[in-house]
Amino acid sequence: MASSTATAQIGVTGLAVMGSNIARNFARNGYTVALHNRSVAKTDALLAAHGNDGSFVRTETIEEFVGALEKPRRVLIMVKAGEATDAVIEELAGAMEPGDIIIDGGNALYTDTIRREAAMAARGLNFVGAGISGGEEGALNGPAIMPGGPKESYESLGPLLESIAAKVDGVPCCTHIGPDGSGHFVKMVHNGIEYADMQLIGEAYHLLRDALGLGAGEIADVFTGWNSGELESYLVEITAQVLQQTDAKTGQPLVDVIVDAAEQKGTGRWTVKSALDLGVPVTGIAEAVFARALSGSRAQRKAAQGLASGTLAEKPTDTAQFTEDIRRALYASKIVAYAQGFDQIAAGSTEYDWDLHPGDLATIWRGGCIIRARFLDRIKEAYEQNPALPSLILAPYFREAIEEAVDSWRRVVSAAVRLGIPVPAFASSLSYYDALRAERLPAALTQGQRDYFGAHTYERTDAEGKFHTLWSGDRSEVSAE
């Protein structure tokens, strides 16, 4: 139903896949939704197909759109991230009044959100950068929503967003994250974790296929089994479904006819770039981003076909034992990937003074989003018990889980190396774990080298202060304070 009175509680501009589904979600939850899209055809297509979902207000111009909204006006932008978002914000800001709220629900880079929030605040407008996860299906039926921006705007906006968000145990997968760019920052890290999770699942699949020689259908059954245990998650569930799919054209498993070159839209890369700036070792996420890049280097891979493998080991003979080893290695590596992601969130919170609460994030990621998983309940509990955890790995539940898995983890990584099967994320997660728990790292030697060639100084284990050795002189040590 369409009307032209100024009664809409929320407006959505940008009615492609995500925007149209979120608009329908608001309407289904009883809100009157003003609709706007640059090209009016999308607005009309939405109304023609789903106008009966609830109460919509059809608009063509920005002025008409803004005029259709109750005050304070709330507009959700769901357009392509980047310049398109800036263009839409500028147009909206010109038509809105102080106290109105602009929400950017696109996948914006968090530093853009920081810039936009400051610019809008200077004009008296509230700007909320909201990370939204769940894809097309989540947008319609309940996404996870990570809104940043001014706390005051959440008072007016929160009830609307919480009503359309996914719910787990009655708790909405939406909460105010923190100031300015924090919502988009945590959404970015969420996507980075999603990359790592997918890569780890991919490595498990690779081992089941090439180390154990299982077919796609058999591997689907393995993942289905895993999905009823501690690995239960949306990604494991859809992995089984993808592996079960038969290609109509060839009769082969679909996965065997899909080109093995993974694409990426950029949020994984952003996560790694930000982690580098913050100095946080998100090795699992970085390996996942690089693995996608390597898979996509098709010409280079083709040229490298036939490179010697060296002598390879025999394949494991105990299928059941090795499958269980892979399951445990996957779980342990996944814990590491999440631990690293939460470290990045803590570092971002400190850097930007956001006062983020990791337990809240684990809570809202339990539903709606791509990384939703049973295991997020454990993360939530871990931060409830100790909000100042130095690493998720050190929470008693996860420590025990890794300690139970570590022998399997080592067997899987060493078998993969001996079989010539690449497992960058499994291996780097295990190395990270070993580095974290090591009593003494080779960084002492690095410091010695740095002092040798650059007089960068070093600290001693047995004295306070900074020291330098006169490497090109008599090699005595001097205080560098």
Task: Report, as residue numbers or ranges, the catalytic residues.
Answer: 187, 194
Comparing CB distances to ligand NBP, the nearer of 267 and 428 is 267
Residue 50 marked ligand-binding: no
Task: Using the CB atoms, write b or e for 411-423: b if 16+ within 10 Å.
Answer: bbbebbeebebeb
Q: Which residue has the tokens 């002492």?
A: 444
The nearest distance, CB 458 to ligand NBP, in angstroms, is 46
25 binding ligand NBP? (CB under 6 A): no
- Half-sphere exposure of 447 toward its Cβ, with a 13 Å CA cutoff? 13
Report how far residue 376's alpha carbon sits from residue 302's, in angstroms, rounded to the nearest whole number: 40
End-to-end CA distance of the chain: 75
Report how far residue 270's alpha carbon sits from residue 263's, in angstroms, rounded to the nearest whole number: 15
In the list 12, 33, 66, 88, the residue contacting ligand NBP (rule: CB under 6 A) is 88
User: What is the Cα gyration radius of the chain?
Assistant: 26
17 binding ligand NBP? (CB under 6 A): yes
Comparing CB distances to ligand NBP, the nearer of 15 and 329 is 15
* Residues 351/425, Cβ–Cβ less than 8 Å: no
16 binding ligand NBP? (CB under 6 A): yes
Residue 116 marked ligand-binding: no
Residue 142 marked ligand-binding: no
135 binding ligand NBP? (CB under 6 A): yes
- Going edge to edge, which strands form the sheet with 463-469? 458-460, 463-469, 477-479
Neighbours of 205 (CB within 10 A): 22
Report how far residue 11's alpha carbon sits from residue 34's, in angstroms, rounded to the nearest whole number: 4
The nearest distance, CB 173 to ligand NBP, in angstroms, is 14
19 binding ligand NBP? (CB under 6 A): yes
The CA angle 212-239-410, to the nearest 5 degrees, is 45
Interface with ligand NBP by CB under 6 A: which range of 8-16, 296-304, 342-350, 466-474? 8-16
Q: How far is CA 293 from the centre of its chain?
A: 17
Residue nearest to ligand NBP (CB): 106
Binding-site size for ligand NBP (CB under 6 A) equals 22
Q: Do strands 101-104 and 126-133 pair parallel, antiparallel, or not at all (unpaired)?
A: parallel
* Residues 348/156, Cβ–Cβ less than 8 Å: no
The nearest distance, CB 107 to ligand NBP, in angstroms, is 3
Interface with ligand NBP by CB under 6 A: which range of 129-137, 269-277, 304-312, 418-426? 129-137
The nearest distance, CB 464 to ligand NBP, in angstroms, is 51
The nearest distance, CB 75 to ligand NBP, in angstroms, is 13
257 binding ligand NBP? (CB under 6 A): no
18 binding ligand NBP? (CB under 6 A): yes
The nearest distance, CB 180 to ligand NBP, in angstroms, is 18
Comparing CB distances to ligand NBP, the nearer of 107 and 340 is 107
Comparing CB distances to ligand NBP, the nearer of 19 and 150 is 19
Q: Residue 27: left (phi > 0), alpha (psi -120 to 50), or beta?
A: alpha
Report how far residue 467's alpha carbon sits from residue 444's, in angstroms, rounded to the nearest whole number: 13
80 binding ligand NBP? (CB under 6 A): yes
Residue 16 marked ligand-binding: yes
Stretch (H or E) spanning 85: helix 83-95
SS3 string, 250-285, reads: CCCEHHHCCCCCCCCCCHHHHHHHHHHHHCCCCHHH
| Residue 72: cis peptide before it, omega within 30 degrees of 0 | yes
The one-letter amino acid at 13: T
Neighbours of 265 (CB within 10 A): 10
The nearest distance, CB 270 to ligand NBP, in angstroms, is 12
In the list 9, 32, 37, 469, the residue contacting ligand NBP (rule: CB under 6 A) is 37
Comparing CB distances to ligand NBP, the nearer of 147 and 253 is 147
Q: Which of 224, 251, 250 is nearest to 238 (CA)?
A: 224
Report how far residue 86's alpha carbon sits from residue 382's, in angstroms, rounded to the nearest whole number: 39
79 binding ligand NBP? (CB under 6 A): yes
Residue 440 marked ligand-binding: no
In the list 47, 81, 140, 262, the residue contacting ligand NBP (rule: CB under 6 A) is 81
Residue 176 marked ligand-binding: no
Interface with ligand NBP by CB under 6 A: which range of 79-87, 203-211, 268-276, 381-389? 79-87
The nearest distance, CB 41 to ligand NBP, in angstroms, is 7
78 binding ligand NBP? (CB under 6 A): yes
Residue 191 marked ligand-binding: yes
Report how far residue 82's alpha carbon sits from residue 87's, in angstroms, rounded to the nearest whole number: 9
Q: Residues interacting with ligand NBP, by CB under 6 A?
A: 14-19, 37-39, 42, 78-81, 84, 87-88, 106-107, 132, 135-136
Name the binding residues for NADP(+). Answer: 14-19, 37-39, 79-81, 107
Could you tell me which residues are annotated as the binding site for substrate? Answer: 107, 133-135, 190-191, 195, 265, 292, 450, 456
| Annotated binding-site residue numbers | 14-19, 37-39, 79-81, 107, 133-135, 190-191, 195, 265, 292, 450, 456
